[in-house]
Amino acid sequence: MLSKLLTVALAASLATAQTFTDCDPTKRDDCPSRKAVGSKPVEVDFRKGHNSFFKEADGTKIEYRPDVGAVYSISNEKQAPTVGSNKYILFGQVDVTVRASRGVGVVTSFVLQSDDLDEIDWEWLGGDATQVQTNYFSKGCTETYDRGGYSPVADPINKFHTYTIKWTSEQLDWIIDGNVVRTLKNTGLGGCSGYPQSPMQIKLGTWVAGRKDAPQGTIDWAGGLTNFADAPFEGYYQSIRIVDYMGGKSEATEYKYGDRSGTWQSIKVINGGSDADDKSTTTKPSTKTSTSSSATTLSTSISSTAGTNNSSSTSAPASDATPTPSGTQGGENAAVTGPNTPNQTGAAGRINMNIGSAVVAALFGYLVL
């Protein structure tokens, strides 16, 4: 799939999200339905080897070791080992235990992404051992770039940490080792401020932003050119746990877009070939996620990892945090970033370029020039 490329031209000093989809359901009516994770959580320990829940992208070769798990190794700038899940979630919780790759210009990414280009990101720069970047996108909108944020984390390159995305129709939390470090509320706005809300695939990978033929903005964001004399650069994915909230339904086998709106209420949750029981959509508002004290209710907030422990563990029943049908969509983008935030923020396959220049973005959003 990485051989499928999309040429895009963007404004100077700006960054873009993932720009390719096999079939965008907001533009076409013939897009296929996607298999759902469903009510049974998926738990993968990569220290035990390959798991068929994830498919390796073309050109990807991953080693599995009992001490660290899946090894994503890069020895030259054209490598971008990537895997994608073979099933989707419609809201849910994903916990990934990972040790980011070292190396200036090398990027480690944990991304949720939908067919209509909603996106939720964790991203680590190999030259930064003090923090992690977060971002989100709605329907691939890249007209504004004020959604990125940074959260401190203790030595993510040399230490394993568990990074969580907890996602409901009302609220999105980024969590490190059980502590909520950023919260996004669904405020009902649209456009670039829209709230990610369509069925998502899980993607794990590493790629090279600090390559010689990359736009200067990309190189600057990545911290500089990658020195391959220090290769190989290795990122380690130890384990992952995936809970599907199924759009508030009690069971799901597939997700299909009911129209071109891309709203979560329009998604048809299929159970064994038929629409899931409508009665199961009557759920109460989620009350199980507590945010750190610095999190606000009307804007995106970013806080220290020393915040309040998240009250909903990865083992909590999905029904405790199922999304509430509310009739509101969209989100907000008032990202409160720290003093180290650069002019451009990172996300999966973030690409900076000059006006009128062309760049190629590969499937899964990783940089391929």
The residues that are catalytic are 119, 123
Q: Is the dihedral of CA 168, 270, 96, 105 positive or negative?
A: negative
At a CB cut-off of 8 Å and minimum separation 6, what does 302 contact? Answer: 134, 149, 150, 151, 181, 182, 294, 335, 336, 337, 338
Over the Cα atoms of the chain, what is R_g?
A: 19
Residue that the structure tokens 């010689």 belong to: 212
> By the 8 A CB rule, do 364 and 33 touch?
no
The first and second tokens of residue 142, run together, are: 């890249």
H/E element, 218: helix 216-222
Residue 145 DSSP label: -
162 neighbors 176 (Cβ within 8 angstroms): yes
Tell me whether residue 201 is exposed, middle or buried, using C-beta atoms within 10 angstroms of its C-beta: 0 to 12, 13 to 18, 19 or more.
middle
Residue type, 366: Y
Exposure b/e, 264-298, CB count within 10 A at least 16 = b: bbbbbbbbeeeebeeebbebeebebbbbbebbeee
Q: Which of 132, 179, 177 has its CA nearest to residue 156?
A: 132
CA distances from 98 to 85, 183, 326 (A): 17, 21, 35
Q: Among 67, 119, 96, 295, which residue's Cα sits nearest to residue 177?
A: 96
Distances from the Cα of 16 to the Cαs of 11, 123, 216, in angstroms?
10, 14, 14
Query: Which residues on neighbouring strands pair with residue 182, listed in sequence order?
Result: 174, 302
Q: Is there a cis peptide before residue 156, judged by omega within 30 degrees of 0?
A: no
Q: Are 166 and 93 in contact (CB under 8 A)?
A: yes
